[in-house]
Amino acid sequence: MNPFVQFVKDLSGRIGNGFSSLNQNNPSNVAYVRDLERQMKDQNVLDIPFDALQVVIFDLETTGFYPYKGDEIISIGAVKVAGTEIKEAETFYSLVKNETPLSEEIVNLTGITEEMLADAPSLRDALKDFFAFIKADVLVAHHASHEKQFMNHATWLALKQKFQHRIVDTSFLTTINYPDDRLISLDECCEQYGIQIDQRHHALHDAVATAKLWVESIREIQEKNYHNLKDVYTHLATLK
């Protein structure tokens, strides 16, 4: 699918219905989830000015690229951003216990070992904690299709729930800011802005680097008179 068409699908609709409680027998859980659903339904992310937009930038480390062929999430990292302020004290990180042995390639790439995952939270518990952290905030990821397909699969697999959050892709901003540079990887984009990644392929460090990329991209795109995601969508929809 054309990425700009996917952008429209991801951002222009309502957040959706049906993110039911993880424990329907607990009245406090039911009330919490109903309030979360209301917040998500009421939120029209396209019209929120960038300076007021609350987002959670996140990153996943996985055992491969294909969740429906058995690849798994092994860590989740995230940081909150309000407007152009990175909330350095509001971060999330969790390893995730996996069901199959890690390949040598993944161990070398991520630094995560099977010993580290032995006592890690289950996918169900890690996702519950992650959703409690993000609440109804907009999610942002770099080249978000990877994160989206894993979150879709993992949420249903572990919680038997449909993944409801929308994920905004940082690449749509770099597409406007640098239309001729064909910036693709996180490394390329961060290099363009002089952003250092403290530990590549560590979910939290990559999330923090992506947050810095998001903030710099927002500042630059505002100088071009884009005030919200609707302005971005309107421009991208005209591109062939």
pLDDT digits (tens, 9 = 90+) for 217-237: 999 999 999 999 999 989 888
* Among 189, 177, 169, CA closest to 224: 177
Q: What is the pLDDT of residue 8?
A: 39
| Of the listed ranges 2-11, 125-134, 215-224, the one predicted with least confidence | 2-11
Average pLDDT on 196-203 reads 94
Pairwise pLDDT comparison (25 vs 117), residue with the higher score? 117
pLDDT band per the 50, 70, 90 thresholds, residue 44: confident
- Tell me the C-alpha distance between 6 and 180, whole Å: 21
Q: What is the pLDDT of residue 83?
A: 97
Examine the pLDDT at 155 and tell me if it is beyond 90: yes
What confidence tens digit (pLDDT) does each residue in 92-123 have?
A: 999 999 989 999 999 999 999 999 999 999 99
* Strand order through the sheet with 138-141: 85-95, 73-82, 54-62, 138-141, 167-169
Examine the pLDDT at 177 and tell me if it is beyond 60: yes
* Domains of the chain and any CATH numbers: 3-236 (3.30.420.10)
- Tell me the C-alpha distance between 192 and 185, whole Å: 11
